[in-house]
Structure 1
Amino acid sequence: MNQDLLEVDKLHFNELREQVSVEKFQLLLKEFINKFTYESITIEGKNALSFEDVCHLLEKEIITTKLPEREQKEALNYFKTFHYVFKLVTSRRKINEEILKDLHEMLVDGIFVGGQYRKVNIQIKESMHQPPDYVKVYDRMAKFFYDLDNFKGSAVSKAAFAHAQIFKIYPFLEGNGRLARMVLNYILMYDGYMPISIPIDEKEVYLQHIDTFKVEKDLSPFEEYIRKILLESYEHYIQMLEN
């Protein structure tokens, strides 16, 4: 049922998008990027920037001395990476290992060296599942891209799968969560959907669904959660364009 409603909303939104001005759609996209950037860097629990700080930073694209430099770099990197993803999607570039590493490198630019799989073992606090040994990361990521290329489900299922697998494998030392949310939207947009953002106040539910996939290998709760967020997002997008 949710899939049917989602397709109806997707079609309705696309019809509205053709009717409104480019400026109005760009305003909608700008609002989303500000929200997505803020929520994605904050949901990990270590962001000192307010939503207003993020909006101002993305508008000016200038790092100030009044706020933590790392958090500002993370926000600007997220902003630039999303625009790069949007460009890749528009050019019909399917995600692959090279692009994934490029995205990670952009997300951590100026903070540490990115785009390289981890070479140490790590422990994840408050998680029921621990990532695989670092020597297995290359093989796990090779299977990850094989599974993506041969995925038989819907775009929403594929996006949820990609996101959850990045969390499960944890291929990089840092930035895996931000990367996973970016990849989620990459796959959604590639298939013609609008992007989504995970609400900060739903952090516990969000992480619980990912843990369910890690431990029980059951993707359906997370997939349904992503579908719910997508439906809610379309309702908001439609309301914006109609008003």
Structure 2
Amino acid sequence: VTNKGNRKLAYKLFKHALALSPRFTEALNKFGEFLEHENVIQADLLYQRALSCDPGYTTAVMNRRRTAPVVAEHDKTVFAEIDKQKKELYKYSAHHPTLRSAMKEFYYQHIYHTVALEGNTMSLDEIRKIIDLKIAVSGKSIVEHNEVVGIAEALKYMNNTLLVKVGNITVHDIKSIHKRVLGFVDPFGAGEFRNNQVFVGRHIPPHPDDVDIFMEQFEEWLNSEEVVHLHPVEYAAIAHYRLVYIHPFVDGNGRTARLLMNFILMKNGFPPVSVEVKDRWEYYETLIAANEGDIRPFVRFIARCTSKTLEDYLFAAELPYLNSNDPEYFKAGYSTFLPNP
């Protein structure tokens, strides 16, 4: 199939076959071969999925030997580009006026996106009113108000307490973040591990009796030699995934995981990033892929979010100063903030 029409039909047939039988090894491998010349990363993922179904599938093994080094080199290049953006950003002072304005704006943006991912219907302007003016928004529930306040408190705690703390990241730190995230919604469950079994789509998190053990192991990993050899973005993304995999709390796991991810990024000199509402589908799809055994799509997704954030910072730094009360400010596309200097 060489012409575009036939390729389009073939693509649909492969997708249909895998929708009917997601573990159809031959279809996974053939689909990878079909895509390899135009999308080697996607092809490599398909070969990997085929091998997770049948580790001895010879053709997929041979195909992966060909694609894996190419994909590894691609990922290295992505991280190198992110480091280059970070280095470029640090040529500017953290007190640069447009960067400071951008920092303030992203504070609202981050709260908006992280609660919206969980179904909160507050608009960006309504969130600004709640935080700045301390007023209630008519037509919105008490729970939605308290979710906004909770994230604002958690961000404040991270900036003012955790980032100046010397030492390891601990389970207590994670519980403290969660306590603020959920403290205004569920004061009794905030900062406490669940004591019941939960289900997240097809994923079944650990039994409640095992949560303490899993979290102790997670703390060990967070401070292990292994993470020293990871790029900070990779480290932050895997930490996010591992926390939502354990799902230690009844509610607020996603919000806490995104805050933990940003805490790690900020400790390593990166600005915090948002998972934007428009990227919700890709965010959840890559988390599902991680549950199925391949975390690389999720790491790449977080890397793109990080790159976009750095790009936004650099864009803000190169603009003439605009006050956040200026109507033109919001046309400038600011969406990020720097951690406290």
Normalising to structure 1: TM-score of the pair?
0.92
Deviation for aligned residue 1:128: 2.7
Work out which of the residue numbers 152, 155, 158 in structure 2 matches 1:82: 155
Work out which of the residue numbers 91, 108, 131 in structure 2 matches 1:58: 131
> Do 1:137 and 1:171's aligned partners in 2 also have CA atoms closer than 8 Å?
yes
Q: Deviations 1:183-234 (Å, cap 9, x if unpaired)?
A: 0100000000011000101111101111111221x22111111111111111
Deviation for aligned residue 1:61: 2.9
Other-structure match for 2:274: 197
Deviation for aligned residue 1:14: 1.2
Other-structure match for 2:332: none
Quote the Cα distance in structure 2 between the aligned partners of 1:230 and 1:129. Answer: 27
1:32-181 correspondence to structure 2 within 5 Å: 32-44=106-118, 46-64=119-137, 66-93=139-166, 94-112=168-186, 113=188, 114-124=190-200, 127-150=201-224, 151=227, 152-181=229-258
5+ unaligned residues in a row in structure 1: which ranges? Answer: none
5+ unaligned residues in a row in structure 2: which ranges? Answer: 1-76, 320-341
What is the one-letter code of the residue matched to 1:118?
R
Quote the Cα distance in structure 1 between the aligned partners of 2:134 and 2:81. Answer: 38
Quote the Cα distance in structure 1 between the aligned partners of 2:193 and 2:173. Answer: 14
Quote the Cα distance in structure 2 between the aligned partners of 1:88 and 1:201. Answer: 31
Normalising to structure 2: TM-score of the pair?
0.66
1:10-21 correspondence to structure 2 within 5 Å: 10-18=86-94, 20-21=96-97
In structure 2, the CA distance between the partners of 1:117 and 1:8, relative to structure 1 (3 Å rule), is: same
What is the one-letter code of the residue matched to 2:203?
H
> Do 1:61 and 1:76's aligned partners in 2 also have CA atoms closer than 8 Å?
no
In structure 2, the CA distance between the partners of 1:32 and 1:141, relative to structure 1 (3 Å rule), is: same
> Do 1:39 and 1:200's aligned partners in 2 also have CA atoms closer than 8 Å?
yes
Question: What is the alpha-carbon root mean square deviation over aligned residues?
Answer: 1.6
Deviation for aligned residue 1:74: 0.8
If you compute each CA radius of gyration, which structure gives the higher value, 1 or 2? 2
Aligned residues: 237
Work out which of the residue numbers 270, 280, 286 in structure 2 matches 1:209: 286
> Do 2:265 and 2:271's aligned partners in 1 also have CA atoms closer than 8 Å?
yes
What is the one-letter code of the residue matched to 2:178?
H
Other-structure match for 2:297: 221
Quote the Cα distance in structure 1 between the aligned partners of 2:249 and 2:107. Answer: 24
> Do 1:213 and 1:219's aligned partners in 2 also have CA atoms closer than 8 Å?
yes
Quote the Cα distance in structure 2 between the aligned partners of 1:133 and 1:57. Answer: 38
Other-structure match for 2:306: 230
